[in-house]
Amino acid sequence: MKILTLHCDYIRFKPVKKAISKPEEIKKGAREIKECLVVLSAVEKKDEKYKDAIVKNLITEVRDIAKQVKAKKIVLYPYVHLTSEPSSPSTALYILKQAEKKLSKTKLKVVRAPFGWYKEFEIKCKGHPLSELSREISIEEVAKKEKEEIKGEGKMKELFVILPTGEIKKKKQVSKKEYPEIKIVIKDELGERKKEGKEPPHLRLMRTMEIASHETRVSDAGNLRYLPKGKLIVDLIKDLCREVFVVRLGGMPTKTPCIVSKEDPGAKWMMEQFPERLYKVLPGRAEKRQEFYLRPACDYGTLSILKDASISYKNLPFGLYEFENDSWRYEQRGELLGMYRIRNFMMADLHTMCADINQAFREYEKQIKQFAIQIYYEIGFKPVAVVLNCKEDFFKKYKKQFVEWVKIFKMPIIVKLFSVMKTYKIAWVDVVALDNLKRSMEVTTVQLDTETPKHWDITYTGKDNKKHYPIILHTGIGIDRTIAAILENAASQKNPILPFWLSPTQVRIVPISEKFIEQAQDLAVELNEEEPFVRADIDDRPLHVERRILEAEQEWVPYIVCIGKRELDKQVLSVRTRITGKVKEMKAKEFKKILQEGQGGMPWKPLPLPKLLSKRPKFV
């Protein structure tokens, strides 16, 4: 950034004409400021990455010069002609606004000339030796310092546990006998568990159960194709996410583009956090020579919406929700792992805008409890711990509240403290469960972000009628990873089974012979089309009954109903329950009640395949 300071008797200026397509809104008319230090400034392209550091250094220079010339009034005057490589207008305006805001908190009176306007001006400069000074606000030292800090990011300063009793203990003080699950999570968080080197169980299961497979013929590595059963599971989880994020948490649904560019400074800043993970795509027209990328998250479109919106403090907090069918991160081939690490993935994301840190903290607690923890129970897991990663100063500020969390969440909190964090987060939470093989699983996260709004120039109008930067919560769940965790958790049980509401076939009807297919169809119609609705299909293939029952067991069908002469004569159903492996005769009304309890108000959709198994193709 280049500045030219003029110690003046006065400056008069008047906006005349727009200089850019979207100049800032102003009150028209001339202004005159007497006995002032005029700071002509030009923000440069190289400043975009270090905006806050430029603001800090600019304030230091201006205060120093004002002190030398004994000026009490400062006029910040945008003057792009001082550089041949100007920054984007949004970056320049951000820096000038921040400088105005922070200088105003000192004893100096600050006036900022309108940005984005051609102005006529008249100036009378004093004639002493310090009346005209030029400065270049350097970022070299700032860049060097940031690089050093980034190298230190990831080096955890301390790990300790807030136990359900409210006690805070270091990792060595946590008893393995008393808290065995917590010791497992700590070991995983520290990377102390030995890698098994085996193929994750879900890789085999997703293929054999015809849920998903890797698309290796017509796509890049790390891209999945979901088969009808898998697509049903995805859609059911999608419906649950909408219930959680929109109905319970009040998020407003949106849909944003999958292709993004670096043209906006905020988007450029965000992409530079993880540049090696970006997928580049060619533009529609080569002559444009504009670089586009497949989005690594829905943040870009969501933040763009927030930037354009007119938001009042009365609207806050509020959230925007998106189910991302397609996001991409270029994971290296050696990093790809089943459904856990893929290049094309699905997420359900809520971005919540809050007025200040106290409002954000209240919303943070609410979303952890009502989403990040609760959804584990709904997909069939019991969470065992909350892992809190945060900056040291943030933990000290809210230590009492964190201790209260263990009572609210009814589980311990594993705290990982950092002095420096590279990315926008000052705190983020992962909720951890253990599968039946005693491995840690993390599928939900809630992150607290204080930096992104500044880089994107996202503001709201406060009670004082001034613009303020909000705080944003990033809340999400990875869908592919969640399905993998559900499969692996189920596989480790004695009689593997998916949660009832997620089972592609909830009831398999097996007629003893072809003579009873008509009665089987009547029962299927009753179950599929009358409340409580159930996904029921019919194995009408000309195979032995034992073979058809065996294949239903291999598909983890929760209930198998056999129909033959004996059942029709007694007017009962012979129901085999997968969890117990037992067969019980019961009336249709009693069976329906069991099915209704199993569904438990969770999302439901009809069969994704033909009702008759004889009509189904084999995908594997």
pLDDT in tens, 553-571: 999 999 999 999 999 999 9
Select from 183, 186, 192 the least CA-distant residue to 416. 186
CATH 3.50.80.10 residue ranges of the chain are: 2-149
- Residues with Cβ within 8 Å of 64's Cβ and at least 6 positions away in sequence, in order, are none
Integer Cα distance of 417 and 191 in angstroms: 16
Alpha-carbon radius of gyration of the chain: 31
Length of the chain: 620
Residue 355 phi, psi (nearest 5): -70, -45
Integer Cα distance of 111 and 374 in angstroms: 51
Q: Residue type at 194?
A: K
pLDDT number for residue 150: 42
CA distances from 11 to 26, 64, 107 (A): 18, 21, 21
pLDDT number for residue 122: 95
Distance of CA 67 to the CA centre of its chain: 46
The DSSP symbol for 594 reads: H
CATH 3.40.50.800 residue ranges of the chain are: 500-615
Integer Cα distance of 205 and 207 in angstroms: 5
CB 299 within 8 A of CB 424: no
pLDDT number for residue 201: 86
CB 235 within 8 A of CB 605: yes
Residue 458 phi, psi (nearest 5): -90, 125
Instruction: Give the number of C-alpha atoms closer than 13 A to the C-alpha of residue 403, restricted to the C-beta side.
Output: 10
pLDDT number for residue 67: 92
CATH 3.30.930.10 residue ranges of the chain are: 199-258+296-381+451-493
Tokens 């592919």, located at residue: 480
Q: Which CATH architecture has domain 500-615?
A: 3-Layer(aba) Sandwich (3.40)
CA distances from 572 to 27, 164, 463, 558 (A): 82, 50, 69, 19
CATH of 199-258+296-381+451-493, one of 3.40.50.300, 2.60.40.420, 3.30.365.10, 3.30.930.10: 3.30.930.10
Low-confidence ranges of the chain (pLDDT < 50): 141, 143-153
pLDDT number for residue 7: 96
Angle, helices 399-409/357-367, rounded to nearest 10 degrees = 20
pLDDT number for residue 145: 47
- Residues with Cβ within 8 Å of 170's Cβ and at least 6 positions away in sequence, in order, are 159, 160, 161
Task: Report the SS3 class of residue 55.
Answer: helix
What is the value of pTM for the model shown? 0.77
- Return the ∠ at Cα 21 (arms to 19 and 22), rounded to 5°: 100
| Bridge partners (DSSP) listed for residue 508 | 537, 560
Q: Which fold would CATH assign to domain 2-149?
A: D-tyrosyl-trna(Tyr) Deacylase; Chain: A; (3.50.80)
Q: Where are the alpha helices (DSSP H) in 465-587?
A: 479-491, 517-529, 545-554, 565-570
The DSSP symbol for 504 reads: S
